[in-house]
Structure 1
């Protein structure tokens, strides 16, 4: 299949592009900055560029992974988010329909589900249990608003034209430090987040490949992508007050392993992302979970979760290089 992959120079793109190629797909990368897997440099907000890319490369399917993200809020005006995240998405899926494509994948985000009350902490019933039916969805910033608008746009095009659509709401998989939390350390925080809100970039890439191949059977649906949490909904109340006791029931040696590493387990967990629909509908399940971290600690091997405090996105690196040249 000839696949147009947007965001091909980014963190997900550098894993997804070669994975697609290894599985027999002919990948054309499109990004605003050059990269090892990028053949077309330009913005998805440029409709003429998108249409040329579709025709010149004979594209059969689109994976739209490119976007302006939450850290970009401090660098770009709101209009830029609308241009890239909404207009760009509409440009791509309408071009896919015009080209006769039968499938379209949209990389969305669990961030758009974080309302003000979710952001504030656990609810009356304890930790928020976040599956695809969680509502109402009220994004807290322009990033979430535009990603939700783009989701609605691709659903509209599905209803009008029948193109198969898979919306993949990814949990956290960025390698850099958290932009709001300095404690615990980056590797420790990422390990903790595998309990309830994170997945590896490798698993995110594998989910896109699986959804691409299953798209005709999916029709149109949204999916949360996260490592499978060990918890049950019945644990929600206790997670909000004493997460360590809950973790101890599932992983009796976790506290000891963490102490040996100088790490700390979370005292409370206020939300849990449930990725079980993806497993049911297209057979994807993250291969790396919290148990994988404990195995690494037990064996003295490297953490399975990528951590790079010096990582910067390609567009930020390009801007910095332009300023110093």
Structure 2
């Protein structure tokens, strides 16, 4: 399988390129920034270059985007629309023109936006939760998901969406806390992409991809106000480990990401979970 990965110099893109190559896949990485995982410096807004690089490709993995951090840096709405929407449209059109069979779009769990707010309990975030975008980043991601759906139904391109969770650079304490309910290790993200590449999707679909959580829906009211009580129920060893490492527990947990659908449909099972970090 010959695979084109956009955003190959980014956190998820680079790990995905190296992961797929290590398993024998023929991978070409493109980005605007030089990196060991990037073969060519190509702007996804350059349609001619995209059409050229995608000839003979079996699948596209699209991770390139302006992200939430760019919103914080005051990038314009026009920039988000150009890169995220027009760039994605260029890739979809090139895929159809060159007979690419599969297109995996990495969206974001941020798209759920204000739907994740509740004053009374933590929110269970699975794919049935209706997204409520908060900003131009979320809006462009939502639009691109719909583009993928349109191309699936009207062009016969097997395009599916992976809504990936948070994988920002942060302290070990914050990282492990986020792995409880809203985080993702890039290595798990890369494996989810590989599994999605292998699966045949008969219909357009969207999947949350996170590190999973030990929690259940029954825990949601307590998680909002007394998360330690619930954490100790599932990981009684956590309190002593946190004490030894000088870590602090979250004061509140406002959401719980579920990747159960991805597990059921194409076998996604995260490895680098809260329990993994706690005991390593």
TM-score w.r.t. length of structure 2:
0.96
Of 166, 185, 194 in structure 1, the residue corresponding to residue 179 of structure 2 is 194
Say if 1:101 and 1:15 are closer, same or farther in 2 by CA, change over 3 A. Answer: same
Which SS does the other structure have where 1:100 is aligned? coil
Q: Is the 8 A contact 2:165 2:208 kept in 1?
A: yes
Q: Which residue of 2 aligns with 1:67?
A: 65
Unpaired runs of 5+ residues, structure 2, are none
Q: Which residue of 1 aligns with 2:216?
A: 232
1:127 aligns with 2:119: no
1:246 aligns with 2:244: no
1:261 to partner: Cα distance: 1.0
Q: Which residue of 2 aligns with 1:162?
A: 156
Which SS does the other structure have where 1:258 is aligned? helix
Which SS does the other structure have where 1:244 is aligned? helix
2-structure distance, mates of 1:272, 1:225: 12
Q: Deviations over 1:58-83 (max 9, x none)?
A: 21110001111111121521111111
Q: Which residue of 2 aligns with 1:33?
A: 33
Say if 1:274 and 1:218 are closer, same or farther in 2 by CA, change over 3 A. Answer: farther
Which SS does the other structure have where 1:220 is aligned? coil
Q: Which residue of 2 aligns with 1:106?
A: 105
Q: Deviations over 1:20-58 (max 9, x none)?
A: 112222111111122212222121112122112123xx2
Which SS does the other structure have where 1:266 is aligned? coil
Query: Once structures 1 and 2 are overlaid, which stretch shifts more, 186-195 or 69-78?
Result: 69-78
Q: Is the 8 A contact 2:6 2:31 kept in 1?
A: yes
Q: Is the 8 A contact 2:149 2:160 kept in 1?
A: no
Q: Is the 8 A contact 1:166 1:218 kept in 2?
A: no
Which SS does the other structure have where 1:217 is aligned? coil
2-structure distance, mates of 1:198, 1:4: 26
